[in-house]
Amino acid sequence: MRTDTFEQKLEESKEILNRLMNPSITLEESLKLYEDGLNRIKSAQKMIEEAKVKIKTIERRR
């Protein structure tokens, strides 16, 4: 299983957004890209939440 970094997820989301802005894209392809982009953003948000929890844990140890 491939594990992307937060930065990779953001970069891929930007690429998907650029592809979605192409006026010649089909509806079917745009829906697929939209779903893929949304999944990447949700995954990136989860990574942020996990980082926040880790930071709080580290701060409590101090």
Domain ranges, ordered by start, for the chain: 6-61
Q: Is the pLDDT of residue 53 over 90?
A: yes
- Where residue 1 falls among pLDDT bands split at 50, 70, 90? low
Give the separation between CA 50 and CA 27, rounded to whole angstroms.
35
Q: Say if CB 12 and CB 4 are below 8 A apart.
A: yes
- Where is 15: in which H helix or E strand? helix 6-20
Supply the pTM of this predicted model. Answer: 0.82
HEC profile for 16-62? HHHHHCCCCCCHHHHHHHHHHHHHHHHHHHHHHHHHHHHHHHHHHHC
